[in-house]
Amino acid sequence: MARGRAARGAPFVQAELLRAAHTARLAGLLRGEAAALRVVRGLRGARARHDTHRLAGLVTALHELLLTTARLAAADGDPTLVGTARQKYRPGGSLRVLGVFREPVISATGYGGVVTHLLGDDGRWFSVADVRPGGPARARAAGNATVAIGAATLDHARLARGGLLVTGATVSPDGRLGSGRGVRATPLPGATWTSEPLAHLFARPLADVVAERLAGAAPASAESGDALDPAGDPVGCDLVVVGAAGDHLLARELPRPATGPGGDAAARPDAGDDPAAEPTGPLIRLVPANSHPDLAHTDNLRRLASRPGLRLRVIGRLATDRAATLRPLAVGPVPGDETCTLRLPDAWLGRADLGYDRLQGTHLPPEDACPRPPDAHVGPDPLADSPLWRTRRLVELAVAGGRRAVAESGRGGDRTGAALRGAGMPGAAELCAALTAEADRRGRDAFGRLADPDPDSYARAWLATAVHLAATERVLVESSWRQREAPGAMLS
């Protein structure tokens, strides 16, 4: 870490990291191997100045590598630190799965395709993927490509609104359905989002789901090459559109409906039917799941934002690095509301895949049909507008500029520490001060000459700061989902 991103991108440094990854592999430390390889990929992207390279991604990869190494060196008994090897498809028996939505995939390495997400009767998520070299063009075309499971003759568009009865199923550890020789699949009629098991996706408040996801984050296997994303599986919610801010759509979560007789979600009277029943939770920012111009995400969000008061049933992924933010993947009408919700074609079976299906004006209610919610006032973001950005800047400076850059940042006084202490963050202030001091510390040998600085002490100081930063940001994100505001306030 001593000389920053540019120096560490040198071939000999990458070779040392690759040697360390190979050593970890031989020792059976697969999580450490995967972490080292992610750092190498990040360094190569930085050195080659790839458009897809992000400094934040390299910081996360280095954080994971150093934290895993430190915990192993301390004889931490957590079995997840070892990691797991690539696991093959396992027998899954007979499965009945129902399509929920399809998601276009465009990777930074030139791959493109589609992943259709399905739900089992027991609430488990499954997927059928078709991702190959081809980029955006293939991602668009794959949305209607034939599904390669058994002898089932249907495409991804039909599967996302249908289902499969699979016998002799094979399933990967992350829920992907295999298409081996012994697999047999029979198409099934689809189910709407108001019938079980799909209706169960909308049964819990988002704040509870966020708290569970952030508290339960754990490392994944070496197969994925990434730590487990706290966003995890998609989540569902019912929202009312408030307006737009740039290319973002602003919405509030509708109150939880009361459970009808027998607990059937389809029989629940929607609490949002009464226009006077106004949501009071935090404003939720909906951002495009993929902003590539060849996909429909951005255009669809822009069209939805043109109808303030519109009520939506949304399935998306949590953006756990931003305050109260959701990345929507599919939308549908709110049950029990025929006036202020979507009016989708019958063939769409009550939902639109935001990456593929393009919403039209006829799919929206008339402009005067929905009561307009109060205008939203843009307020401070508890994450982006807090002094914590100073800690992140110092952590990223250490990765981008190296030890000398961190030391130079402290020459003009402890402005970072003063700002953090003034905001009630003394722990962050002390860690930043310790990192800056360690970056500038150089001992002397027996003859009084300056000696090389201790790289281990500097790495420990950086890791302590990065761990504290990640934990604090996670707390702020969770708290942003639990805020109860007046309708005129929002998260920026």
Query: pLDDT per residue over 39-98, tens digit each?
Result: 998 888 888 777 777 888 899 999 999 999 999 999 888 888 888 776 778 888 899 999
Residue with tokens 């006084």: 413
pLDDT of 9 > 80? The answer is: no
| Predicted local confidence at residue 454, as pLDDT | 80
Q: How far apart are CA 488 and CA 479, in angstroms?
A: 19
Q: For residues 49 and 5, what is the distance between their CA atoms, to the nearest angstrom?
A: 12
Residue 471 has pLDDT above 70, yes or no: yes
Work out the pLDDT band at 441, boundaries 50, 70, 90: confident
DSSP 256: P
371-415 tens-digit pLDDT? 888 776 656 677 777 888 999 999 999 999 888 899 888 887 778
Question: Is 90 exceeded by the pLDDT of residue 264?
Answer: no
Phi, psi of 371 (to 5 degrees): -60, 130
Burial class (CB in 10 A: 0-12, 13-18, 19+), 353: buried
State residue 433's pLDDT score: 93
Q: State pLDDT tens for residues 197-241.
A: 999 999 988 888 888 888 765 433 333 433 445 557 899 999 999
**pTM summary value:** 0.82
According to DSSP, the residues that pair with 221 across neighbouring strands are none
- Reported as a pLDDT band with limits 50, 70 and 90, residue 161 is very high
| Single-letter amino acid, residue 446 | A
What's the whole-number mean pLDDT along residues 108-125?
90
Confidence of residue 153 (pLDDT cuts 50, 70, 90): confident
Q: How far apart are CA 165 and CA 286, in angstroms?
A: 34
| H helix and E strand count, the chain | 13, 13
- Provide the edge-to-edge strand list for the sheet that holds 90-106: 125-133, 111-120, 90-106, 163-171, 184-188
Predicted confidence at residue 296, as pLDDT, reads 93
Q: Compute the mean pLDDT over every residue in the chain, rounded to the nearest whole number.
A: 83
Q: Cβ atoms within 10 A of the Cβ of 471, count?
A: 11
Q: What is the three-class DSSP state of 236?
A: strand
* Residue 224 confidence (pLDDT): 40
pLDDT at site 280: 61
Percent of the chain with pLDDT over 90: 43
Instruction: Give CA–CA dist 98/87, Å, rounded.
Output: 25
